[in-house]
Each structure stands twice: as C-alpha cells, then as structure tokens.
Structure 1
Amino acid sequence: MNWLVRPLWNSKEGRLRAGWRVLLYIALWLVGPALAHLWVGRPLAEWLWWLFPQLTIFPERVLFSLLTLATMLVGTWLMVRYVDHRPLRDLGLGLDRHWWCDLCFGLILGAGLMLFVFTVEWLAGWVTVRALFWSAPGSGPFLLAIFGPLVVFVVVGISEELLTRGYQMRNLAEGLYLPPLSPRLALLAAWLLSSLFFGLLHIRNPNSSWISTSYLVLAGLLFGLGTMLTGRLGLPIGLHITWNFFQGNVFGFPVSGNNYASVTFIAIEQQGPILWTGGAFGPEAGLIGIVALLLGGVATVIWVRHRYRVLRLCDHWAIYRPWRTRPVALDPLRPTP
C-alpha cells in the first residue's frame, strides 16, 4: 500500500507532495472566485445596490474583483495553514517595513517602465495622442470610471503574484530540492517554471501568439527576480499593478491583448512596426517591451543591493522547515537555520 501513497504523500514532511499542492492551488485559483461570484457575488451586489443605491455608479466588475481578492486571500490562508503547514509569511507576505518599501519601489518602477515605453514610441512617431482624461460614452465621469480598472489591476497584481511567484515558486523550489540539485539551483528552476506557467496563463488572450507568450515568460522572470532576491512579494506585486494600470489606463496601450482604453488618462492611436510596438497585443509583445523588461531587471538588482546591502538568492525558499520547529522570526534574506 505504501507504493500507492508515496507519489501523493511526503511522509517525512507529513503533507502532500509539492506537485499536488501546486495543482490544488491552481484549481483553487481557477474555481474559487468563479464559485464565489456565482453563489455570493450576484446576490451580494443586488443586496448592496438595494441598500445603497449610490453604489450603482460603480461597475459590477469592481465588486466582483473585490470578492475575488477576498476569496483568494482566504483560500491562500487555508491552503498554507492546512495543506502546506506553514505560516502565510513564507509565501513572501511578511508585511514588515521592508515589504512596504519594496511595494512602493515596485509601484514606481512599473509606472516608470511604462513611461519609458510611451516616451520612446511617442518620440518615434508610433503613437498619436488624440485626447486626455478620456472615457468612452456611457462610462460615466472620468474620476469614477478610472476607479474600476484600478481595482481590477490591483486584484490581478496580487492574485497572479500569489499564484505564480508566492505559491508556485515556493512549493516548486521545495519539490525540486532533491539530489543532485542544490537549494540555489532548485530555486532557479522554480523561477523558470513559474515564469513559463505565467506566460502560458495568457496564451488564450485576444491577439496572442507564441511571440507574445514567449515575451510574457520574460515578464514573469522580471516579476520573479524581486522575489528571488528579497524573499518578499512586495516588489513584484507593486510592479505588476502599475505595469498593467499605466500600460492600459494611463497610456492607452492594450494590456496582454486586452483593450482597457475605454477610460484612460491619455487616449492614443498606435502605428509603427509591430515588431517593436507589439501591435494589437500591446508593448508586452514588442521589442520595446523587452527593452523595458531588461531595464526593470537592472533597476531591481540596483534596488535590492542598495536597500539590503547584499545581493544573493533567497535559496532558503527551497528548504521546508516544519512550522513548530522554526524560530519565531526569520530574516527573508538569510538562509533558514
């Protein structure tokens, strides 16, 4: 009977093996919000709109996005507590001062990289500005309309980083830490695999291609770099949020093939060579986006070196330590004792 259980259960750690944990979390990520919307979202929205009619000015997707975020946070806590047998901070969610500083830097970095993309394309004559503070007919006042995509991209940034960088990287690194791989190599392999999954996650997006998917794998590598160097999700969450929001609703570009420019600070018309601009998929499928990713990688390394006075991989992410045997507090930049 042992041979039946062994592929599923790690008897040494007393929990499911890493691959099954990752698959279970992906299922939760895919199904949990959908069920919450079906069972709770619609009745909750109708009840709130009946109780507070003024809330009807907000798009329905705002309420559903907030419900998605709540579902994912609760689901993640249940997974790490009862399946992973670890504290939530082990996924890079130790919300200390360093975490919030990393978040702020990530927010600034994502905005700056998209400003770089817009400036280059504008100077090259590849974009034409046709309106400022623009919202499509029926979208409502600009200040209210822009709130919707902001909430959506905050939720996307947190949930996708929890999935790919927080949960996947941590668990894959632990699962891959087997002879002959060292903790460092296991973490690097987990970084690559989670970035590959991140790219494939967008393969069914509108206007996608193998080129855009490949470039999104590189974007996943950038988002994961901050996690590997700090052991925290603050930097990639911040970067992910403003990378998307500034791309779609500040500068009016498509975001991973989706058009969010029904409300945008700068409404544009885009021309130029698709090889560089990414065409209908947006900058993430163009060479200018690759340049931005490389600049983001350099900026991330400089930030970590300046902020933490050390530059090394947090390879302790590949080493599982049972909850009850660990010290009260661990420095994410130091190996697990």
Structure 2
Amino acid sequence: MSHSIAHQARPGHKRSEDGVLRKLRPLFWNQEGRLRAGYRVIVFFLLWGYGPALVHGVVDRILSLVMAPGGQWSFGIWLDPVRLAVVVGAGWLTAHYIDRRPFSDYGFQFNRDWWLDLVFGMVLGAALMTAIFLVEWAAGWVAVDSVFYSNESSVPFGQALMAPMVLFIVVAVAEELLTRGNHIVNFAEGLHSWGHLPAVFAAWLLSSVIFGLLHIYNPHTTWVSTANLVLTGFFFGLGFVLTGQLALPIGLHFSWNLVQGNVFGFPVSGKVFYATSLVRLEQRGPELWTGGPFGPEAGLLGILAIMVGMLFTAGWVRWRYGDLSVGRVRLSHCENRLQGR
C-alpha cells in the first residue's frame, strides 16, 4: 500500500521540482536563453585571470629548464605571447559559447578604420606622456640622469626594449578585451531596460571602476591613485564607446604604458617594468602634480593629460565618423529590439 502511494506521489513531486526550476531559471537565464549579463562577466573574468596564470606557470618552468643562464630577460618575449593567446582564446570561447555572439562584437571588426584608429591611439598616448615629461622637465621636477639605460648590460638596448614592448601589447589587448570589450557590452545588455544611452554610459562607468580596482594591489597605491585609474579607464573606454571597436583603446593603452615606463622611465601604475628606458629620470617634483612613486597616473598632470586626451579622442571620432554616438556599441539583437520598444 505504501509503495503504491509513493509511486502515485512521484509525478506530483516531479511537477513540484519542475516548478521550482522554472522559478529559479530567470535568476540565471534571460529571455534569450543566455546566461544573465553578470554571470557572463564573471565567467570570462575567471577565465581571463586564472587561465593565463596556469599556463604561465607551466611555460615558465619549461623555459627555466631550456634557456641558458643570462637569458632570463627574454622570458617575457616568449611567455607574454602565450598569455595573450590564452586570453584571446578564452575571449573567443566565452563569446561563442557563453555570450553567444561573434567574437568581433567585442571590438575586433578589422578594416581600414580599425587600423587608423589603432595608429591614432598610439600617437595620442605617446604625445600625452611626452607632454607630461616636458612639463615636469621644464618645471625642474625631473632631471635626466642617463639615456639608453638598461639593467641588462649584456643585451643591446634595442633588444632589451623588446621585452617591455611585447608585455605592453599583451597588457593593452588583454585589459581592453576584458574591461571594455566584454564588460561594457555585457553590462549594457544587462541594463537594456534603461535605454541604450543610459545603459552604455552606466556600463562604461562600471567598467572603469573595475579597471581601477584591478590595480589596487600595485605598489604605492593610494585612494588617489585608484580614483585616477578609474578616470584613466574612463578615458580608455571613450574610444570604445564612440566607435564600438577596441582599436583606439588598445593603441592608446599600449603607447601610454610603453612611453611612460620605457621611454621616459616613469613608474607605470606603481611598477617598474624591466628597468629599461630611453631616459632614466631623477624625480624631484611635488607628488600632488607628478604622482610620486606611483607615476604620472596618480598626479594632477596625469589628470590634465586625460582631459586633453578625451577632447582629442572625441575630435578624432567626430572627424572620422561624422558624429559622436554610442550607437556603434554592438549589443545583442534581442536587446536591440527591446530598446526600440
């Protein structure tokens, strides 16, 4: 008798479970059948952070066994492209299987405009950092200690400079793919009910905050430097918001870091990379303006450069594309329809 009752209760029990699952499903999946935006961001962030770290450990061990003593300086030239391949691979997998979108929607629609934007970003970043150096030098806040400096005395300067160049290419692509390409697109889709412009603006701001927080454990970090890096992220993100492509942010991010650290010898977000620079400086000026040991990004000169850079970015986009619109950020088709209602 009890077996018969239990047997009869099973269908109702199953229906109850199905009802619970139906109620829970909207917490994780949206009307498109995709994971909700926040979860999509988390998945890529975990792959972005842990994937390269795991591969780095394995490749680093292999290189330490096969490379001759004295060749450790070039580890980065071999390691960093592997890290980049892992990050881009994780981005491609996330785009296709989690986000369910073409990888190009993250800002990699290669064409003539894309490459022109990349070059402009590189020129702008280099020009802004050069302006910071010239102002500090004219004010007597820095003195040139030496030129063509490298702590790798056995390696020609040009060869030693290759390692930070490769590193900053990887940093620019990886961080822009995460905080601009993935974050702005997904956060904006998650906020689509606000309307296209407010959603993109909020996503832009949120991604900039995350960009600043990614650097909170850097040496010499303060609340001022973190706030300034949020502003830097806002600056880098402007090119993506206005063009829908990562070319301008990647070019800007790359040259901003390289010229800052390995042309003029400033700290880059509190760090010194490879101790190789065209100019070796002695810093003397007030930290309020120069940023002190954190580098120009934590000083008022850095903020002024960011403001000027945003004006030049807007001017470039207006000249190249004819307007200043956030409509070029590619959101999902379903959410585009929702925006049009």
TM-score by length of 1: 0.90
Distance 1:143 1:220, change over 3 A: same
Residues 1:39 and 2:58 are matched in the alignment: yes
Q: Which amino acid aligns with 2:108?
A: L
Q: Distance in 2 between matches of 1:316 and 1:223?
A: 15
After superposition, residues 287-306 of structure 1 pair within 5 angstroms as 287-306=300-319
Q: Distance in 2 between matches of 1:110 and 1:34?
A: 28
Cross-structure match for 1:203: 216
CA apart distance, 1:14 = 1.5
Residue 3 of structure 1, aligned match among 13, 17, 23: 23
Q: Distance in 1 between matches of 2:174 and 2:182?
A: 10
Contact persistence 1:173–1:190 (CA under 8 A):
yes
After superposition, residues 158-169 of structure 1 pair within 5 angstroms as 158-169=173-184
CA apart distance, 1:72 = 0.7
Q: Which amino acid aligns with 2:217?
A: R
Cross-structure match for 2:88: 73
**Larger helix percent:** 2
Higher-Rg member (1/2): 2
CA apart distance, 1:63 = 1.4
Distance 1:115 1:297, change over 3 A: same
Q: Note the aligned Cα RMSD (angstroms).
A: 2.4
Cross-structure match for 2:137: 122
Distance 1:261 1:77, change over 3 A: closer
Q: Distance in 1 between matches of 2:259 and 2:222?
A: 23
Q: Distance in 2 between matches of 1:83 and 1:260?
A: 35
After superposition, residues 251-330 of structure 1 pair within 5 angstroms as 251-260=264-273, 262-314=275-327, 317=330, 319-321=331-333
Contact persistence 1:139–1:262 (CA under 8 A):
no
CA apart distance, 1:140 = 2.2
CA apart distance, 1:5 = 2.1
CA apart distance, 1:38 = 2.6
CA apart distance, 1:308 = 1.0
Distance 1:191 1:60, change over 3 A: same
Deviations 1:230-260 (A, max 9, x none): 1110000000000000000000100000013
Contact persistence 1:227–1:233 (CA under 8 A):
yes
Q: Distance in 2 between matches of 1:298 and 1:149?
A: 29
Q: Which amino acid aligns with 1:196?
A: V
Question: Any gaps of 5 or more consecutive residues in structure 1?
Answer: 327-334
Q: Distance in 1 between matches of 2:323 and 2:313?
A: 13
